[in-house]
Amino acid sequence: MPRFSIVVPSHEVAGRLSQALDSVLAQSFGDFELIPVCDAPDAPTADVVTGYAERDSRVTPVHSPPSDGLAGARNTGLRAAVGGHVLFLDGDDVLVPGALAALDARLDGTGDVDVLYFEHERTPWWEGEPTNPAAPLLARTPDGAFTPDRAPLLTGVTLPAWSAVYRRAFLTEQDIAFPGDHFTDVGFGGLVALRAERVAALRTVVVRHLLRRQGNRLALPGEHHAELLDQTELVLTRAAELDLPADRLKPLFEQLFAVVLKTAAHPRRLTSGRRAFFRRASTLYRRHRPDGYRAPGGSLGVQHRLLASGSYAAFRSLRAAHRTASRAAALLPRPRGLRTRLRYAAALRLPLDRNLVVYCAYWGRGYACNPAAIHAKARELAPHLRAVFLVEPDAVGSVPPGVEYAVIGSRKYWQALARAKYLVNNANFADAVVKRPGSVHLQTQHGTPLKTMGADQATYPVVAAATGSFARLLARVDRWDYNLTSNRHSTEMWERAFPSAHETLEYGYPRNDVYCTASAEDVARVRKELGVPDGKKALLYAPTHRDYATGFETGLDLAEFCEAIGDDYVVLLRAHYFYDRGASRGGGRIIDVTGHRSSEDVCLAADGLITDYSSIMFDYANLDRPIVVYADDWDVYRETRGVYFDLMELPPGRVARTPEELAAVFRDGSWADGTATSLRAAFRERFCQFDDGRAAERVVRRVLLGEPPASIPPVIPLAERVPAPAATLVRS
């Protein structure tokens, strides 16, 4: 039997779960079992956990459906546990180094205790000093093992479940489990403290808790706050049944109602039923108030007395008197120009147009990418919706005939943004855009992240300087309702890079649908448009942007490269969109396609891809055509920009580090041999999970038509997809 069973619920923490698991497996004390609790075998976190279970026999995952909530997940893990003591760790928490060794030593010193409480750190997700809220409470406890009456303030309800380790036999014998769906720590902590006979404290930080940027889920508005009263009633009723002594009942009562009053006074937590909440709390207060109880002083004491008397009207007036600034200030529009501000403010007062969709791609560079693909599918599936595409003045020519557009900054632009129910973008709308109640913002993204993005860029000075204010960036992120991903890797990385309360849609990228729907005729047409000679193999060369470079440099002499690989090839040069130099130009063996409106068309035309670290490799992999990575400055790029995984360890094909090596893989044919095919297959398995040709349909049905998740078409398995045919290569 292991010393510890460590239960880790993992719902919606795929981006940080590996940190929690790593912190356990890296402990110097190794006598434990690690029990991650996943939603289902195909959930995002299950992919993370499976790898750990394969590498370490101490990892034994179990499953609990999301409908069972945090309490259900912990109870499932508890039932599976076989260790002598149980420790609960949230999926975005970590054990500090040496934590298990410290717990083991303390348990050896105290003997057989039911509960060992310990300190924890609450670490702000972004900046600020960590706090240790348990330290003052535990500082007043006896040094050795003690009975609960010697530390009456240690009621359990103010400490999270992951701030203690529990003797498993004690929980089993007393039939203690996590109650309810919400505020389960309040009920569990209270029941444990009421039943424990011998406890101890460890005045050392064991768990480091990362405060989520989007805040505690329990603090969000909703009807779930009524369950706080359920947990309060459960604990106080059990205390009455046990005839808890007055010196222990008073702090228990006071701590429970401190939480209740905080909720009752909060202006946003109870969106409805505030009066009913107050009246029920008042009834509980009077029923369970200890004999001779005296309310605390100050404003809190006034709230106690109003709750005891059931005076909701007076309590509401007190709450209003303590409110700070009006929330209206946060909604003040700030576009440039007084006339524009006034017009935008006036438009914001008009009702939302529930049939209006606003699209934008690449900050208005044109009709492109995921927004364009969603727009095209919406014209087919939701013809009742009016669409307006936002473009810069010099990109008006990219808008296809029949597509309504608005020039960015124009009166029509601000009016559309103010009135639209749906706003779809692959980047972000301007800071001045107001997120109106009832509007729906869809972030489609425009690639799979290899390099660090969003908040993860903060530790890389060159990138951070170019990014600007992260506070402003995250304020834009807070407007998102949905975020689109094309693979589980993206799901995890976006969760870290853009922490917020939006919902992730694992639907694939709509722009990549064409890779499964295009025909040989489509490929031939695009090649002709681009000027690719008949019978020639077209190699797409697509280098990415370097944050440490001042302009576009290919890093490769394309003329020398073409000379070295022979006359069978032509090169399609597509620079990063930062360096768009206008319309595509054909001629010779190097064809500049940087200005071509569609990167998807360019990929269809290419028989193979040469890139460095551009995200185009993830999209191109859907075509199952050869990819060669030209990594001449990988070490510099990795250290300067930061990356999410080592591309050299998981490449999509052959890797070359010098121009000579690059030319050699084409001369000897190894760019498309069996080894390259095997590498590509593994890469596709990981990064082409959801791009099956139906992503746009899924998005339109879920976001624009409001269909329930259960009715959305499932993703076609990778093995059953048929990518568009290449012009000159036979795919394996």
| Backbone φ and ψ of 185, nearest 5° | -65, -35
3-state secondary structure of 116: strand
| pLDDT per position as a tens digit, 139-194 | 999 999 999 999 999 999 999 999 999 999 999 999 999 998 889 999 999 999 99
- The confidence score (pLDDT) of residue 328 equals 42
pLDDT of residue 305: 85
pLDDT digits (tens, 9 = 90+) for 220-272: 677 788 899 999 999 999 999 999 999 999 999 999 999 998 888 776 777 77
The total number of residues shown for the chain amounts to 732
Scan for tokens 């992951």, then name that residue: 162
Please state, in angstroms and rounded to a whole number, the distance separating the CA atoms of residues 458 and 471: 11
Sign of torsion over alpha carbons 464, 466, 470, 476 = negative
What DSSP element (H or E) covers 80? helix 69-80
Long-range Cβ contact pairs of 683-686 (< 8 A, separation 24 or more): 683/621, 683/627, 683/650, 683/651, 683/652, 683/653, 684/621, 684/622, 684/624, 684/652, 684/718, 685/718, 686/487, 686/489, 686/650
pLDDT at 76: 95
Q: What residues does 55 pair with on adjacent strands?
A: none
- For the stretch 592-595, contacts whose Cβ atoms lie closer than 8 Å and that sit 24 or more positions apart, written own/partner, are 593/530, 593/540
Phi, psi of 115 (to 5 degrees): -140, 135
Contact 91, 45 (CB under 8 A): yes
Residues of the chain with pLDDT under 50: 324-332, 577-587, 730-732
Predicted local distance difference test score (pLDDT) of residue 572: 94
Q: Say if pTM beats, i.e. exceeds, 0.85.
A: no
Q: Which of 264, 272, 261 is nearest to 223 (CA)?
A: 272
Radius of gyration of the chain (CA): 30
H or E element, residue 186: helix 184-195
- Strands 85-88, 32-38: pairing is unpaired
Q: Are 201 and 163 in contact (CB under 8 A)?
A: no
Taking a C-beta distance cutoff of 8 angstroms, is the pair 547, 648 a contact?
A: no
Per residue in 296-307, is it b (16+ CB within 10 Å) or e — as a string?
eeeebeebbebb
